[in-house]
Every structure is written in structure tokens, then in C-alpha cells.
Copies of this chain bind each other. A is one copy, B any other.
């Protein structure tokens, strides 16, 4: 999640130290695993892979120290799988004494396509500082170089800027100290008869594990922070796999501690050097705080967390309901836009209406748990919202929901109305059947976030076969294109699409894409 841009410098935030202290108490001790590199590879044109670039092995990693590198020489080290962590390597000089510093560039890449692009050619709006490339000067060799930053990568490309005409540089023992809050090696994984689904599951699990760090990060390469939209899906995937409730609590408390003075939860928070809320606000993201709390309570019935955060959750609903008319219609505003998906080329009103229904239902379960005396108020509003959706937004002629003044028909509306269970089960099945018939194949959707909701809607509507097929067509396609982890953005109709203009800026391990582990666990195991 990154493709949104707001500046609200004048917003004031609360700072609830008691909740921040609770958040800090659930901070994970990261597990460290030393991972040795697998092989030396070269870039290779191969139309099968993303942007037409794959790699071929040219030597086992043991031969690395036989390469003596001088000005402009280059070598690509392949770690064999996606890694998040700190990189170290031994470096020595051979030949005459080292009469100049060693200078080299090192570029870390999740996908071969990133190596095929030059960093200096990128000129998009997203910060160039995300490009995982360092220039290193070393005055004295031999040394063991441990780069201070964390990188997210499978490939490390070393390009020697210069040695001197009298000596060459030799590299050996590249190691990544991989970090994660969880341990993939010991987690229980289902055994699936379908090998493609099995692989889809494995890649999802790796994606989730690599995004579980000091918080649930959206992407370990780029953004590296806690977004509500990613957290909601990560937490669901986590309950299906690692069951790390501490990390969920850490994140819930972080958001709960720092709403605005008006009570609204921001779309994301930063945690370094200290906890700081971002000045970005999204209507649906604020509401999803309720979902995350409700999903957590459904998984672990935790009275303490519920008592600590119920009021914060309630505030999100109350703020959202200020945008609901007396007839039960959600009115969107520009200051507090609804996200739904990255694309702004579709009308979001009906999907937004569905999300307030979806989260209001979850809020009511929480209100019941705490015996909120104002429960009836909310159930009354829910009836209105439902009623408005069914009578004003559902077009019985086409069998589909419409959205906005132009009565636009789009996938998002059907999907969220399905997930909100606005219609009865039989009607919902028909709704998604009609969606498949009239609106598939899907076009104009480029995020696993939206594909997740479509897939889940198919499952919820009982269209299991269609759901599995979509999972294979979408996440399975990423695997075919070379994914070791799932991507932030992917449009199967244009696989090379980047929202940032270059794959160098793409995040190829992104939290909101990990959900096959959740979907498979919930609907197929």
C-alpha cells in the first residue's frame, strides 16, 4: 500500500502513552537466520518471466572467490529465495598492494527485471531513495563488510566502480542475516493435492513471513510500515498460519493510541524513531480498525484488548455514520476519501456503502460483547443502510448493484455487497454468478488487494470453483512469472505494469498479496 498521496500538516493527534506502552510490550524479538547465497547467475532474456528477464546459473557460489574483479566488472549473487535482512560479505584484494580504495556499487533486487533497469533512468514521483542500491568505498582490505541497512531481495548485483590497475577485488561468503517475527520452518502447512495450489500457498506464506517484522509491514522493500489495509489482511492470514497474536496486538494498540484529536484513525503509522501517525486518512481504512479488532476477538476472545480499544473502534463508526443520510445513504467526501482500490477510474460510492455495512456488522458483534447500551441505535442504522442498498443501489433488472449518479456497474460494488451479505445467500450466489457472467474477465484491476476481495466474494457466494480458478489465474500467474513472494501490484492483462513507472520501485513482496494462505485455509482445507 503506497499509492495514495495526502498532506494534512495541520491535523493534531492524540498520544495515549498507556496504549503505546502496551504496544511496546508486544514488540517482537526478531528471529535471525543466517542464509548463505546459492549461486552466481547472469541475467537472461526469457519471455516466460516478468518483463522478459530471468537468470541462469553460471557457477556455484563456492566459485565466487575465483572471480577477480576490476573496474566495471560485475557479478550477480543469487540467494535462491526472497530474503529480508542484513547483508554481509568478505572482501579481499589480490595482486600488488592495495594502492587505492575499493569502490563498488551493490544493488539488491527482488526480481531479475529490476537488475535489467538502470537506477539512474528512474524519474517517477515515488522517492528514488527506495532504490536498493549502495555505493561503498573501502579504504582497507581484507574486511568483512556488513551493510547497516536492511534490504529485501533475492539477488545482489555487485559492480566494481574501480580498484586500481595494480590489484583486483575478490568477494566471498555472502550471507544474509534474515529476520522475521515468525519462523516459517516450524509452522504447520496444509498438504494440498493440487500442486499448483500448494505452490500458491507456499509463496503466500513466505510473503506473510517476510512482511512480519517489528510490525506487520506492507512491504519490506518499500514503504516498510504499518497500513490498516494491509494489517487487516495480514492478521487474517496470520490466524490461518503463524497465529502470532502479540504482533496483532502491538499493531492494534499503535493505531488505537494515536487517532486525531477528533478521534479518527489514520491510514498508517510510523514506528521509527518513535511512534508517529501519518497524515493520510481513508474512509474505509479508519473503519477497518473495527474489522481488525473484531477479527482478533473472533480468533482469541481477548477481554483486555477489547476493553482497551472498544471506544476507539466505536469512534470510527460514529465518525463514519456522520456521512450517512437519514435514508441510509453513504455520502463520500473529498477530505476523507474511500480507498476500495488504487484505481480512481470507477465509482466507489456503492462499495463504500457496502464497507460501512460490513464493518457495522462487525462493530455490532463487538458492541454485544461489551454490552454497549446504545447497541439498538447501531442495529437501527444497519437496517437503514441495508434497506437503502437493496432498494436504491440494487438494479433488479440487471441483477447487479449500481454505483453513483451515473448508475455505474463495476466489480467492486458486487464484491463488497457480497462480502457485506446485504442480500440473502441465494441472491448473493446469483449476484456473483451474474458478476462472473457479465463483468468477467476482469479488467482494470491491478492489485492483489482487490483480487483478494473478489476471490473471497466468490467463495462467500459459494462459487468455489470460480474462486479457485481466479486464485490460479492471478496468484498462480505471478508464480509462473517468477514470483518468490507476491507483489504489491499485478494486472494479469498487462503483467509488466508498474504504478511507479519502473520495476525498480515495485514492491515484489507485499503484505496485502499474501492472502491465498487465508483463503485456502478458510475455504479449501
Q: Which A positions have Cβ atoms within 8 angstroms of B?
A: 5, 7-9, 71, 95-103, 125-131, 134-135, 137, 139-142, 149, 161-166, 223, 225, 270, 272-273, 276-279
Tell me the nearest residue of chain B to A279, going by C-beta: B96
Contact B103 A139 (CB under 8 A): no
Top 3 A-B residue pairs of the complex, sorted by shortest distance between their CB atoms: A100-B127, A103-B129, A128-B162
CB neighbours of A140 from chain B (8 A): 272-273
Contact B125 A103 (CB under 8 A): no
Report if A129-B134 is in contact (Cβ < 8 Å); known contacts: A9-B96, A97-B279, A278-B96.
no
* Total copies of the chain: 2
CB neighbours of A165 from chain B (8 A): 5, 125, 127
> Main SS of chain A's interface residues?
loop
- Tell me the bound Cα distance from A135 to B106 in angstroms: 12
19 contacts between A and B (CB under 8 A): A5-B165, A7-B95, A8-B96, A9-B95, A71-B127, A98-B270, A99-B223, A101-B130, A103-B131, A127-B162, A128-B161, A129-B137, A129-B161, A129-B162, A129-B163, A134-B135, A139-B149, A139-B272, A142-B273
Contact of A96 among B7, B101, B125, B128 (CB under 8 A): B7
Tell me the nearest residue of chain B to A100, going by C-beta: B127
CB neighbours of A139 from chain B (8 A): 149, 272
Tell me the nearest residue of chain B to A163, going by C-beta: B127
Taking the closest CB of chain B, its distance from the CB of A464, in whole angstroms, is 40
Q: Which of A97, A102, A163, A223 counts the most B-chain CB atoms under 10 A from its CB?
A: A97
Contact of A100 among B102, B129, B162 (CB under 8 A): B129
Taking the closest CB of chain B, its distance from the CB of A130, in whole angstroms, is 6
- Tell me the bound Cα distance from A397 to B16 in angstroms: 99
CB neighbours of A130 from chain B (8 A): 100-101
Tell me the nearest residue of chain B to A104, going by C-beta: B129
Taking the closest CB of chain B, its distance from the CB of A486, in whole angstroms, is 22
CB neighbours of A134 from chain B (8 A): 135, 137
Taking the closest CB of chain B, its distance from the CB of A169, in whole angstroms, is 10
